[in-house]
Amino acid sequence: MTPDDIVSALVSSLCDVVPKASWGETALFYNRGRQLPNGVYFCTIKDHDGANDRASHLDRQGIFRLAFALDNATYVQYFGAKPPRPAKGCAATSGHDYTKLNQLMPHPVYAWMGWVQVLCPTAEMFSTLQPLIGQAHRTAMASFDKRIGRQKRSRQ
């Protein structure tokens, strides 16, 4: 699968998804009616290393990362306790090889927040990830509703 294939699949299968490309990364936001400037992001696709994110070696030819958030219970079910936040420029200590392709694993930088990654997922792997990405989307929907509710209350 390509990054464009993944974006297309998620935009067509999940409601109110708005992709936004910036800084060489595509973030997927839940933004019903485009009520917020961006919405609430729940998934990203990145194809290059950043200053504080080099553990996956995304600068290899054709390599990209699909990343998304898991809720706490699901993260623990798959990986055990979340690792502590890594120091700037360092990777989380999860025991995973962050360069391995087509394997679900903690995100090297944001595992402490419950984010996970898969480098270059195949169509079969993407199919198995869709329920988890759907869960991330539903969590973003709930966060969105809370933000909209706070905005409405602050206007009253």
Q: Residue 24's pLDDT is what?
A: 78
Q: Residue 152's pLDDT is what?
A: 65
Q: Residue 150's pLDDT is what?
A: 75
What is the rounded average pLDDT of the residues 24-35? Answer: 95
Query: How would residue 52 be classed by pLDDT, with cut points 50, 70 and 90?
Result: confident
Among 11, 79, 72, smallest CA distance to 45 is for 11
Return the half-sphere exposure (C-beta side, CA atoms, 13 A cut-off) of residue 133: 26
d(CA 61, CA 64): 9
Pick the CATH number of 3-155 from 3.90.1150, 2.60.40, 1.10.3470, 2.60.120: 3.90.1150
d(CA 63, CA 60): 6
- What are the Cα distances from residue 52, in Å, to 56, 82, 93, 130? 11, 19, 15, 28
Q: Residue 140's pLDDT is what?
A: 97
Lookup: tokens for 138: 């539903």
What are the tens digits of pLDDT across the range 55-69? Answer: 999 999 999 999 999
Q: At what angle do helices 3-13 and 123-155 cross, to 10 degrees?
A: 50
d(CA 103, CA 101): 6
Query: What residue ranges do the domains of the chain occupy?
Result: 3-155
What is the rounded average pLDDT of the residues 27-42? Answer: 95
- What are the Cα distances from residue 26, in Å, to 18, 35, 154? 10, 20, 31
Among 144, 152, 121, smallest CA distance to 28 is for 144
What are the tens digits of pLDDT across the range 126-138? Answer: 999 999 999 999 9
β-partners of residue 30 are: 17, 40
Q: Residue 126's pLDDT is what?
A: 98
